[in-house]
Chains A and B, each alone.
Chain A
Amino acid sequence: MATQTQSPRDTQLQPVPSAEDEAGQAYFDKIIAEDSRIEPADWMPAGYRKTLTRQISQHAHSEIIGMQPEANFITRAPSLKRKAILMAKVQDEAGHGLYLYSAAETLGTPRDELFDQLLSGKAKYSSIFNYPALTWADMGAIGWLVDGAAIVNQVPLCRASYGPYGRAMVRVCKEESFHQRQGFEILLELASGTPAQKQMAQDAVNRFYAPALMMFGPNDDESPNSQQSMRWNIKRFSNDELRQRFVGMIQEQVKVLGLTLPDDKIRFNEETGKWEYGELDWNEFYEVLKGRGPCNAQRMERRREAHENGAWVREAAAAYAAKKAQKAQVA
């Protein structure tokens, strides 16, 4: 990276760059230019630290909130096999949240503070989880489309310039592919079932298609932070590039399902070599992001409830640890 432009905010944070900061910046720029990795103990620009803390913790929050739509269906899974699969998937999501919280913490914000940011509503999470899961087919659509979109987004993040983030993403991506396949399988089973089952699958795809596409974030010209993230090698592809790639993948896969995507504008543009799709409702996206989606209040309430209900477990574990340590000292 030849020119590292500082945002006005960064300049405010560090009015007079010390010699140490200048040397740090030079070393940082060199590492980024070499496409190498920044590790926690390295000097990094305040903006880089802040951007990553926000992105990684939001990602972690999304995994934790993302457990809810599917957890709600564990008791309603149609077979023991499906129940076991769903439990494993929800457990994975908890795990992914923990990997990501660990990575975020290496940037200097303690875990409890990250939790507080979620519980107080200060931090955001992926808007997709504010849509309701209404039928069993939604478990299929979530796996196929939501996890599918997440994978397309996450694979390039394995090469993010921040070491701990990249390492967490490698682990997440390895586990995530089962999530997408089991979703596809649920839809395939329903689509090959009775007309009512097939209709249920189609309905789920219809509802999750557009929100899944919006998971990649606003269009490139509406996403000013993306540019800086790409210069920092955190992001490797723009929102629109990833979205186009995803549309290309699912328009092929949907044929195997014998279902359709609710978008008659999907076509491959020979000239640009890119997939095109119909206009997305960005007003809806921003409404959901601002907390006015169908399930925002419910998700947050459930999360706070779970946190409060778990307090006694955390306290008991700490008390037990303290008691044991005391006994060990005496003995």
Chain B
Amino acid sequence: MATSDQTAMGTSDKTPATEIGHTPEKAPWPLWEVFVRSSRGLSHVHAGSLHAPDADMAVRNARDLYTRRNEGVSLWVVPASSIVASDPDAKGEFFESPKGKDYRHATYYKKSEGVKHL
């Protein structure tokens, strides 16, 4: 089992998701993560996941499941097992470096009176 939310767990004792294209007829269909571009000029955003036997069916199912109300102009489906995530146990330390580096933000700097367009 590997939802993108979960790929980071790595150590699931449950049945792993079937590899794409190697789906025996009775085995569970692999899991796909769905990304929807809501309109031109915007990025694809994660919408959710679904099961499908192959990429084509995943795209069709994603259309039916995540764009029933004109939510999108483009879809991506990605095998959940292909997603690599940061280590969830690293939480703090992995993302710590920007801390104490307020000078990376514009708000760190004092505004000088009368100076425009800065």
- Residues of A whose CB lies within 8 Å of any CB of B are 27, 39-42, 88, 91-92, 95, 98-99, 102, 105-106, 108-112, 163-164, 167-168, 171, 175, 314-315, 317-322, 324-326, 328
Distance between Cα atoms of A314 and B8 in the complex (Å): 29
Contact B12 A320 (CB under 8 A): no
Contact A321 B23 (CB under 8 A): yes
Distance between Cα atoms of A286 and B28 in the complex (Å): 35
Contact B22 A322 (CB under 8 A): yes
Chain A to chain B contacts (Cβ below 8 Å), 21 pairs: A40-B5, A41-B5, A41-B8, A41-B9, A42-B88, A95-B64, A95-B68, A102-B49, A105-B49, A108-B1, A110-B1, A168-B48, A175-B69, A315-B25, A315-B26, A317-B29, A317-B52, A320-B53, A320-B54, A321-B23, A326-B21
Interface flag for B73 (CB, 8 Å): no
- Known A-B contacts A41-B88, A99-B48, A108-B1; the reply to A318 vs B24 at CB < 8 A is yes
- Known A-B contacts A106-B3, A321-B54; the reply to A111 vs B28 at CB < 8 A is yes
Distance between Cα atoms of A92 and B8 in the complex (Å): 31
- Known A-B contacts A92-B68, A99-B48, A111-B51; the reply to A105 vs B25 at CB < 8 A is no
Given A40-B3, A40-B5, 13 more contacts at CB 8 Å? A41-B9, A41-B85, A41-B88, A95-B65, A102-B3, A105-B49, A106-B5, A110-B14, A167-B48, A314-B29, A317-B53, A322-B22, A325-B54
Distance between Cα atoms of A253 and B26 in the complex (Å): 50
The 7 closest A-B pairs by CB, nearest first: A325-B21, A321-B54, A41-B88, A321-B53, A40-B5, A41-B8, A317-B53
Name the CB-closest residue of B to A167: B48
- Residues of B whose CB lies within 8 Å of any CB of A are 1, 3, 5-6, 8-9, 12, 14-15, 20-29, 31, 48-54, 57, 64-65, 68-69, 85, 88, 91
Which residues of chain B are near A328, meaning CB under 8 Å? 21
Distance between Cα atoms of A91 and B63 in the complex (Å): 13
Name the CB-closest residue of B to A20: B89
Contact A324 B48 (CB under 8 A): no
Contact A318 B68 (CB under 8 A): no
- Known A-B contacts A318-B25, A318-B27, A318-B29; the reply to A40 vs B6 at CB < 8 A is yes
Distance between Cα atoms of A182 and B73 in the complex (Å): 27
A176 to chain B, nearest CB (A): 12
Distance between Cα atoms of A163 and B88 in the complex (Å): 15
Contact B6 A106 (CB under 8 A): yes
Contact B21 A322 (CB under 8 A): yes
Distance between Cα atoms of A194 and B104 in the complex (Å): 71
Contact A318 B23 (CB under 8 A): yes
Q: Which of B8, B9, B26, B48 has the most CB of A within 10 A?
A: B48
Distance between Cα atoms of A318 and B54 in the complex (Å): 8
Contact B48 A91 (CB under 8 A): no
B89 to chain A, nearest CB (A): 8
Name the CB-closest residue of B to A163: B5
Contact B12 A108 (CB under 8 A): yes
- Known A-B contacts A41-B85, A95-B68, A324-B54; the reply to A319 vs B5 at CB < 8 A is no
Distance between Cα atoms of A42 and B22 in the complex (Å): 30
Distance between Cα atoms of A74 and B24 in the complex (Å): 36
Which residues of chain A are near B3, meaning CB under 8 Å? 40, 102, 105-106
Which residues of chain B are near A99, meaning CB under 8 Å? 48, 65
Q: Which of A108, A167, A319 has the most CB of B within 10 A?
A: A108
Contact B57 A110 (CB under 8 A): no
Which residues of chain A are near B23, meaning CB under 8 Å? 318, 321-322
Distance between Cα atoms of A328 and B6 in the complex (Å): 29
Contact B5 A318 (CB under 8 A): no
